[in-house]
Structure 1
């Protein structure tokens, strides 16, 4: 094994948490098939049809839903790779595998009366939408209005959409000739009582079109993603009683009376929506994969793209500190979010069926921080690639569209982070306040100082927000107290995520098996920390946690870090297990000019014939 091979192996182990060969390699190999070559000139509908074809291909080549749901790392890998070549294929697979089929498997997979539909979904004979969000109820899914009224006379439910606010929104119902069996979240009404929201398995369409009583209209077009998102509503659709995916959330007595399980409606609803948690890790996996691919493409292009420098003609743009100051922190963020996500996945795998408050908060913070950070990374990479970054064939612009959706998917980021912040503020188990670190005589590149600063900011924001809510003016309502401090609470929750990410980054660097990888990751971790500290430098300065001299020197120290990181860049992006052959992005090729000429049909020989 060469030294380069040793570095690549070491980084691959860290990036993929030791699971690359058994979990990721065959998915990457499947994506090399010509079916995933870029297609120019497709309408959005044609692109959507292609996504269904590609999804069927991966289903046949890689894993059936049963296998993926029962092996969550496999599910996360399926979220990570396909979106690099087709963001719509990623969306289809995740909704079918995780949200729809995962719910069916958890709530009724062992029921003999559902075997035919379970097999149909597992074999992808029918696609499985997940219908929760309604036109009038976005993140407030627990208040949705679609009704399933039990009729004991024939043991069926009457599924109905009472008004426009209750129309199901964004689920895949636009291609009415594609067979689909959906999980529909609806209010179970039996014995004249509203028992809360439960999942129902409902056939939406077959090869002949929508089923009786099911109506759908396509949503307006979205950039890049050509999927058949639609608005769906039900007109007194009869659903057999077997369609209720109860699991352990209730039962019917012999006389047809519904008996909900112990607990309140909200607890039962959260159990019914349990696939949202692994779904958030899937969303983060896709986001982080897109972020890594963006920096891979942008840095390979920067190493070839020539420009004039003072006294040095034909200098690669990557040699400019201004270019490094944009792309190297993007590389650091991609690694930081990779290691934070690996940590969240490991924690989830220890108790996937019993997600407590701490794990729930970790997953929410990871989803919010990773998708926001990768949105910034992708935007930076697109910009630094100039006009080439605009073309879909060079991938990065499409990743930008993907990230816009991921910020909202499986829970809007701001809502997730606010919910997490509220739960953190509600805890009363805090000890002594974290003191401000004494900055005198300390180097701003000192890892211990980075950890102390972030820990101090997190604790201070939490205490300040809690005190303001508790000690507000007389007559202050809870909403007024929360609304007056929500932005402080959001900053606190975000800082917690950054602190955790940096801890994971440092741990990964320490776990490296080669000196070069350990040193390079250490430098990159310091760049990530310094970038985050600079973001709130005024806050630290005002509280005496940094001196004016230290704040002023951060830009120069960042420049110096970039110069020290520069020799390690090829090695660092090599650990992502990406390749020009996989991504098919001309500007990532070994000769980007020739690759772009070929794609554009601008090769000299071709030009001479025109």
Structure 2
């Protein structure tokens, strides 16, 4: 079936779908960042050296800080932080990285652990110094509780001495170079008081003066990484002294005037988790980066697909490449995925905010972690697909897709590698989620019913965790790692299916919240494609346990193709709900109908009159 692109959606429909994707308070939460990305300092896509790009990103960071009513308000507002990442991520991945570190991990942590306002943060809020965060080490990444940098209390000087005991304890990848101006950092170190190790805490440490590292601090640039340039460094400490007030104190612990240590938390692991609590909002920020980047990639690819023409069937002239199922099918699927990513991100954000009073905090934190892994992995698939649909044009830096392809890799690793994050969630869910019976004879449901399709997703998730439990139960006792290895594969898939199911539930809530009319119809069509695609990956397993029939498996491809064609017909109009301003595409030639003009040669022979041949001259 060849979809006929539908007319542009009425503005009321587009606005309703924009509210679905961004939340009901789009003007307050997103308008500032949307407008900022259209201003000249943020529109430049001129090719420069990596060092020039890095310096430009830090200049943009300072421009943002000057534009804010309050840096503290941004740092304390997780919705503002995630909105910032949604818009800055696809514009300047380096900027999104350093802004997230400064406002969330650095300022956010300082404000969280200084509720009484005892620390003077005025200089940091005005960005006299840029903040960074030093947690992971060469030998310790996701196992942050094992970091080996020490902060030993010196009673005579009433402060702490930071030391890096060996090469593996060097802080790995913080943006600690002098580029961008003076910097201070929050350093995760083992707090040693009176010879006793009390666990890992954060300390505020001046690092560079804008030219050189400060006394006791050693900074070395790491080799260039893939993707956008960031001044990632190795950072170590050699008897670096900071006063006692440098310790970020709180319920996790404090050191009194007499040098005595006290804590309301007996667990050293719990002390660490409280100290680095800003990592969870950081995961939400990474999800936002991925969502924003996937939207931009898809919008560019859909625009290009409508403008690029190829030869049609014999005698029909040319047609847009989008007319081909092989081209519009993957883009329609990507559209359903991007909506699902956006809705899951909003769901995780809402749950996290709702748990601020402590209710269901652990469950909300796990959803944030699971969503971060699923969303960033889905974004990688969408971005790579969109780049490929743009052919060689998608490889050129000035079209903006190549940067997104490499940029998403950093997002996948930041704030906890996805695999490690999902493995932790899998271990928790294996023993906390109730077991469900998923097999047995029952009447087949209606594949036209979204509620039934969501029920099948629940069944797939339960199947995965049941398989994991069974495999672990069959493994030899006494070998904890062997038991985990036996069930971890199925459990990890269970986490993925859990994320997909959460996105499906968010879809259902969004559709139900819209009034009857075109906006609800369009969203329901996208929901249907998402559900059919997600469930379709598991029809064999569902058939084996009697949840679908052989006839349903047989007709599934036809239902799916119909859903693809329906969404594909509206995709060019649906991407308008991404609310990307026209100025956003100005520096991306393939996003416009005259993309070929970007390659015009003013001195090319086609701009000169054709020379007159002798025979033509004689005929005159």
Alpha-carbon deviation of 1:588? Answer: 5.1
What CA deviation, in whole Å up to 9, does each residue of 1:284-304 have, x standing for no partner?
A: 011011111111111111111
Given candidates 3, 15, 23, the residue that maps to 2:21 is 15
Structure 1 counterpart of 2:614: none
Once the two structures are TM-superposed, the CA of residue 585 in structure 1 deviates from its matched residue by 4.5
Instruction: Classify 1:340/1:534 alpha carbon distance in 2 versus 1 (closer, same or farther; 3 Å).
Output: same
* C-alpha distance after superposition, 1:6-25 (max 9, x if no partner): 11211111111112101111
Instruction: State the alpha-carbon separation in 1 of the partners of residues 265 and 569 from structure 2.
Output: 61
Q: Deviations over 1:497-528 (max 9, x none)?
A: 10110111122122223611111111111111
**1:242-321 equivalences in 2 (<5 Å):** 242-311=245-314, 312-321=316-325
1:322 corresponds to which residue? Answer: 326
> Structure 1 pair 514/547, CA: closer, same or farther in 2 (3 Å)?
closer
The within-5 A match list for 1:162-201 is 162-175=165-178, 178-201=181-204
How big is the shift at 1:277?
0.8
Q: Which residue number in structure 1 is paired with residue 504 of structure 2? A: 502
Match of 2:126 among 123, 127, 132: 123
Q: Are the counterparts in 2 of residues 198 and 244 from structure 1 also a CA contact under 8 Å?
A: yes
Counterpart for residue 56 of structure 2: 50
Partner of 2:412: 407
1:541 CA displacement:
3.1
Provide, for residues 228-266 of structure 1, a one-character-per-residue CA deviation record: whole Å limited to 9, x for no partner: 111111111011111000122223344322223332100
Measured after TM superposition, the shift of residue 177 of structure 1 is: 6.9
SS in 2 for 1:209: coil
Q: Is contact 2:137-2:147 (8 Å) kept?
A: yes
Choose which of 556, 561, 564 in structure 1 pairs with 2:563.
561
| Mapped partners of 2:288, 2:474: distance in 1 | 41
Provide the C-alpha distance between the structure 2 equivalents of 1:406 and 1:264, rounded to a whole number of angstroms: 31
Q: CA separation of 1:147/1:337 partners in 2, compared to 1, >3 Å: closer, same or farther?
A: same
Residue in 1 that maps onto 2:395: 390
Q: Give yes or no for the alignment of 1:362 onto 2:362.
A: no
| 1:511 pairs with one of 502, 507, 513 | 513
The match for 2:356 is 352
TM-score, scaled to structure 1:
0.94
Q: How does 1:103-252 map to 2 (within 5 A)?
A: 103-108=109-114, 110-112=116-118, 114-115=119-120, 118-175=121-178, 178-252=181-255
Instruction: Return 305-314 or 83-92, whichever deviates more.
Output: 305-314
User: Is the alpha carbon distance of 1:216 and 1:353 closer, same or farther for their aligned partners in structure 2, counting shifts above 3 Å?
Assistant: farther
* Superposition map of 1:23-42 within 5 A: 23-42=29-48
C-alpha deviation, 1:605, in angstroms: 8.2
Q: Does the aligned pair in 2 maintain the 1:321–1:559 contact within 8 Å?
A: no
Question: Does the residue aligned with 2:173 lie in a helix, a strand or coil?
Answer: strand
How far the C-alpha of 1:65 sits from its partner, in A, is 2.8
Q: CA RMSD in A?
A: 2.1
Partner residue, 1:597 = 597
1:324 and 1:241, CA in 2 relative to 1: closer, same or farther beyond 3 A?
same
CA distance in 1, matches of 2:557, 2:546: 19
Whole-Å Cα distance in 2 between the matches of residues 26 and 58 of structure 1?
11
Is residue 378 from structure 1 mapped to residue 380 from structure 2 by the alignment?
no
> For 2:424, which of 392, 400, 419 is the aligned residue?
419
CA distance in 2, matches of 1:437, 1:346: 38
3-state SS of 1:235 partner: strand
Does residue 66 (structure 1) correspond to residue 72 (structure 2)? The answer is yes
The answer (yes or no) to whether the contact 1:436–1:456 under 8 Å persists in 2 is no
Mark the runs of 5 or more structure 1 residues left unpaired by the alignment. none
Between the aligned partners of 2:605 and 2:252, the Cα distance in structure 1 is: 66
Q: Distance in 2 between matches of 1:605 and 1:333?
A: 44
1:471 is displaced (CA, Å) by 4.4
The question of whether the paired residues in 2 share the 8 Å contact of 1:187 and 1:197 is answered with yes
Q: Is the 8 A contact 1:172 1:230 kept in 2?
A: yes
Measure how far apart 1:438 and its partner are: 4.3
Q: Distance in 2 between matches of 1:592 and 1:213?
A: 57
Distance in 1, Cα, partners of 2:544 & 2:180:
62
Q: Is the 8 A contact 2:43 2:587 kept in 1?
A: no
**Do the aligned partners of residues 591 and 383 (structure 1) sit closer, same or farther apart at CA in structure 2, a change above 3 Å counting?**
same
Could you tell which deviates more after superposition, 573-582 or 328-337? 573-582
Tell me how far apart the structure 2 counterparts of residues 126 and 64 of structure 1 sit (CA, whole Å): 16
Task: After TM superposition, give the deviation of residue 109 of structure 1 in Å.
Answer: 5.3
Structure 1 residues 176 and 397: alpha-carbon distance in aligned structure 2, compared to 1, 3 A threshold: closer
Instruction: Say if 1:393 and 1:584, in contact at 8 Å, map to a contact too.
Output: no
Distance 1:583 1:248, change over 3 A: farther
Cα deviation, 1:70-122, whole Å, max 9, x if unaligned, reads 2221111111111221110000100000001111111125343x20xx11221
What is the TM-score normalised by the length of structure 2? Answer: 0.92
Farther off after superposition, 373-382 or 214-223: 214-223
User: Of the two, which has the highest radius of gyration?
Assistant: 2
* Number of equivalenced pairs: 599
In structure 2, C-alpha distance between the alignment counterparts of 1:437 and 1:149, rounded to whole Å? 65
Describe the SS at the equivalent of 1:210. Answer: coil
For 2:172 and 2:340, the matched residues in 1 are separated by 34
CA distance in 1, matches of 2:546, 2:594: 50
CA gap of 1:279–1:437, structure 2 versus 1, over 3 A, is: farther
